[in-house]
């Protein structure tokens, strides 16, 4: 579950409603039905995640929901996903506060740092407004250092030629 959250950037509520048929290995996408705002979208399916999901399927053999709840025909609760994440964080000895939503933020930030444009990230996350995607600019260290300072582009001789004027500005 946690690997799926990180690999796709989907929300907990979207994760628990995934069905086995939503995983399309031919097109290498996972189809999200009625995500936030009741919008459908596709997210990329990584080869590593597909391999892990196939192994999971061989063990669990889910029929309807990919991650079934108490019964095979009921989805897992979002609280169960939160507890699974909390347990994994504790077992790993991580001191920071991590939630399933942290995996979504990490997904978006890592996409941005690897060169994906904001519009693509907006579509993958299912954001209706680009304003919600812009928060990842603040999280990305790569973008803090991406722009070259104009002073650094000047040659030493160019800097020496720039001298303060003694004329008064009007």
Which of 36, 39, 63, 119 is flagged as catalytic? 36
- The closest of 112, 119, 101, 116 to 136, measured between CA atoms, is 112
Burial 96-132 (b: 16+ CB within 10 A, else e): eebebeebbeebbbbbbeeeeebeebbebbbbeeeee
89-91-92-98 Cα dihedral, nearest 10 degrees = 10
Of 12, 17, 104, 107, the active-site residue reads: 104
127 has catalytic annotation: yes
143 is catalytic: no
Q: Which of 12, 17, 65, 127 is catalytic?
A: 127
Q: How far is it, in rounded angstroms, from Cα 117 to Cα 121?
A: 6
104 is catalytic: yes
Active-site annotation holds for 41 = no
Q: If we measure between CA atoms, which residue out of 54, 33, 50 comes closest to residue 42?
A: 33
Query: Is 168 annotated in the active site?
Result: no
The one catalytic residue in 6, 11, 17, 107 is 11
Catalytic residue among 33, 63, 90, 101: 101
Question: CA 28 to CA 63: how far, in whole Å?
Answer: 20
Q: Which residues are catalytically annotated?
A: 11, 36, 101, 104, 127, 136
């Amino acid at each position: 579950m946690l690997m799926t959250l990180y690999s796709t950037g989907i929300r907990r509520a979207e994760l628990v409603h995934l069905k086995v048929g939503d995983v399309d290995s031919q097109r290498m996408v996972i189809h999200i039905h009625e995500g936030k705002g009741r919008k459908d979208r596709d997210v990329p399916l990584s080869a590593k995640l597909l391999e892990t999901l196939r192994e999971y399927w061989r063990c669990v053999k889910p029929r309807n929901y990919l991650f079934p709840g108490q019964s095979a025909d009921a989805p897992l609760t979002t609280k169960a996903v939160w507890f699974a994440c909390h347990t994994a964080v504790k077992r790993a000895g991580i001191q920071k506060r991590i939630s399933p939503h942290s995996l979504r933020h990490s997904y978006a930030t890592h996409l941005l740092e690897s060169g994906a444009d904001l519009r693509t990230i907006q579509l993958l996350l299912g954001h209706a407004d680009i304003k919600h995607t812009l928060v990842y600019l603040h999280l990305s260290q790569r973008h803090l250092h991406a722009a070259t300072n104009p002073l650094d582009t000047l040659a030493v001789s160019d800097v020496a030629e720039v001298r303060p004027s003694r004329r008064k500005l009007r």
